[in-house]
């Protein structure tokens, strides 16, 4: 296994796991994370010899998602970090896997939202009140850490992409 193989197998999943855990614990997704995903894509795409036209189409997919994401953000439906994470993930998937990714993210996001709404109706055991991140999740009017759904959907789709050995793009 080459260094390239290790990076393409580990970088994206590791950054997605970090995005989910960061959003769960802090309700924020760092701009650096979205930039790292974007830079990682560009470096690996060039190292893999991806044609510039294909790279351009991946950037077009990311730009399209960013426009939609910021519309959702302007309506208060998602956070800005979620919009940027969605776009950075779309960069990796391009248009080929974008629809499937959006469907999975929507399903996982719906399940996450319904689960959190139910969690917020339950009394919180006193042992959990010492954890600020749990208290934040339990707030009745609190937000939804949608980065978890975006990351989960990305991890479902990633093995089906050309980034994985044996995958058929």
pLDDT tens per residue, range 6-62 = 888 899 999 999 999 999 999 999 999 999 999 999 999 999 999 999 999 999 999
CA angle (143 as vertex; 142, 148 as ends), nearest 5:
135
Sign of CA dihedral 69, 71, 74, 78: negative
Whether 69 has a pLDDT exceeding 60, the answer reads yes
- What's the burial of 29, exposed, middle or buried (CB within 10 Å: 0-12/13-18/19+)? buried
Tell me, what's the pLDDT at 166? 59
Dist CA 59 CA 67 (whole Å): 12
Residue 95 in tokens? 């248009």
As a whole number of angstroms, the longest Cα–Cα distance in the chain is: 56
Q: Which of 135, 120, 152, 108 is nearest to 17 (CA)?
A: 152
Tell me, what's the pLDDT at 2? 86
Mean pLDDT value across residues 72-78: 91
pTM of the entire structure? 0.92
Tell me, what's the pLDDT at 94? 96
């Amino acid at each position: 296994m080459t260094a390239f193989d290790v990076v393409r197998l580990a970088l994206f999943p590791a950054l997605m796991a970090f995005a989910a855990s960061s959003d769960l614990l802090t309700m924020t997704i760092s701009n650096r994370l979205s930039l790292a995903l974007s830079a990682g894509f560009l470096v690996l795409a060039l190292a893999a010899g991806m044609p510039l036209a294909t790279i351009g189409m991946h950037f077009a997919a990311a730009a399209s998602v960013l426009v939609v994401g910021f519309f959702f953000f302007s309506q208060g439906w998602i956070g800005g970090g979620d919009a940027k994470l969605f776009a950075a993930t779309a960069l990796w998937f391009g248009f080929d896997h974008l629809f499937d990714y959006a469907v999975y993210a929507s399903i996982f996001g719906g399940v996450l939202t319904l689960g959190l709404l139910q969690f917020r109706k339950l009394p919180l055991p006193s042992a959990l009140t010492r954890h600020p991140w749990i208290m934040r999740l339990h707030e009745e009017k609190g937000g939804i850490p949608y980065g978890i759904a975006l990351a989960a959907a990305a991890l479902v789709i990633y093995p089906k992409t050309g980034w994985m050995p044996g995958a058929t793009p």
